[in-house]
């Protein structure tokens, strides 16, 4: 992993069309501004991992509970 040191207000450029700016940093928190093409999805990694985990749980077998669902009118 490439590690760069930046100060508040300074920017990193990734390729031609992505810019990451350190908006502010205080104690152990950094506020980051991201400029990227709108086709690029930007997510907090822990949120993505949580969705992966929930999809795993949601895919478990529920055959035993199907009667509850099918009979709903």
Give the angle subtended at the CA of 45 by the CAs of 41 and 49, to the nearest 5°. 110
Concatenated DSSP letters of 11-45: EEEETTTEEEEEEEEETTEEEEEEE--TTS----H
Of 3, 40, 45, 46, the residue at the interface with another protein (CB under 8 A) is 40
Chain residues 3-22 in contact with another protein, contact rule CB under 8 A: none
Q: Hey, is 48 helix, strand or coil?
A: helix
Is position 63 an interface residue for another protein (rule: CB under 8 A)?
yes
Is position 72 an interface residue for another protein (rule: CB under 8 A)?
yes
- Residues near another protein (CB under 8 A), total: 29
Q: Which residues contact another protein (rule: CB under 8 A)? A: 38-41, 43, 47-48, 50-59, 61-66, 68-73
């Amino acid at each position: 992993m490439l590690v760069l040191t930046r100060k508040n207000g300074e920017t990193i450029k990734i390729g031609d069309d992505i810019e990451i700016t350190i908006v502010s940093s205080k104690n152990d928190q950094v506020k980051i501004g991201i400029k990227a093409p709108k086709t690029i999805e930007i997510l907090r990694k822990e949120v993505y991992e949580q969705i992966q985990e929930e999809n795993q749980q949601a895919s478990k077998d529920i055959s035993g509970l199907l009667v509850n669902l099918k009979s709903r009118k």
